[in-house]
A and B are shown apart, each in its own frame.
Chain A
Amino acid sequence: GAVVSQHPSWVICKSGTSVKIECRSLDFQATTMFWYRQFPKQSLMLMATSNEGSKATYEQGVEKDKFLINHASLTLSTLTVTSAHPEDSSFYICSANRAGELFFGEGSRLTVL
């Protein structure tokens, strides 16, 4: 069964609104989670590393004020896309490390109208 859960799977929002995506590790604690973004027919691009109890580490070119990451507990990381615009429409995937192996969530498709 799934070891990493993402919610929601699909979300449609209006331009200018904010959207929160949750990533949960099931039955294990994850001090570190990773957020990826995937454009259609393209690879996964690492956006940021989410660290429990501290600030996230963002990859070059990723706006930290645009993509807010909170890792408030050992089983939950959230990605909030603030003031979303159509160009933010994408597939967002999180992953967590369990015993040295990375597990991925099912992804969240965001469509900004």
Chain B
Amino acid sequence: AQSVAQPEDQVNVAEGNPLTVKCTYSVSGNPYLFWYVQYPNRGLQFLLKYITGDNLVKGSYGFEAEFNKSQTSFHLKKPSALVSDSALYFCAVGAGTALIFGKGTTLSVSS
């Protein structure tokens, strides 16, 4: 069975500082990994995905994620956080069908 874990319920970071939101996965075979962002009472917005290829994936709004097979991780990163990045972030695993989501991590960026 596929699963993802987001070990942190909340991440707090000051504006301008780098941010990391952690995600680890468990799949049999090659993982298809995704990051989505959700603003209050809104649907999910796609940030980036890893299917194959370069382990460093660049996505929307300056976010990137690094696929680490040995650590089974797919952490989301951004070099310089913005207050507007404050939202709920979901890591997910899947393959073009229904996705399995992590529990989500609330990112709070303070000015």
Chain A contact residues, CB within 8 Å of chain B = 4, 6, 32, 34, 41-44, 46, 49, 91, 93, 95, 97, 100-107, 109
Contacts and interface: CB of A to CB of B under 8 A. Distances in A.
Interface of B: 34, 36, 41-46, 49, 90, 94, 96-104, 106
Nearest to B41: A109
A34 B96 CA distance: 11
A101 B101 CA distance: 15
Given A32-B97, A100-B96, A106 B43 contact: yes
Contacts of A101: 46, 49, 96
A107 B98 contact: no
A39 to B, nearest CB: 11
Contact of B97 (A41, A44, A97): A97
A5 B104 CA distance: 23
Given A42-B103, A103-B46, A91 B41 contact: yes
A4 B94 CA distance: 19
B104 A42 contact: yes
Contacts of B104: 41-43
Given A6-B43, A42-B104, A104-B43, 14 more contacts: A34-B98, A41-B104, A43-B104, A44-B90, A46-B98, A46-B99, A95-B98, A97-B96, A97-B97, A101-B46, A102-B46, A104-B36, A104-B45, A107-B41
A109 B42 CA distance: 9
24 contacts: A4-B43, A6-B43, A32-B97, A34-B98, A41-B104, A42-B104, A43-B104, A44-B44, A44-B101, A46-B99, A46-B100, A49-B97, A49-B98, A93-B43, A95-B98, A95-B99, A101-B49, A101-B96, A102-B99, A104-B43, A104-B46, A105-B43, A106-B42, A107-B42
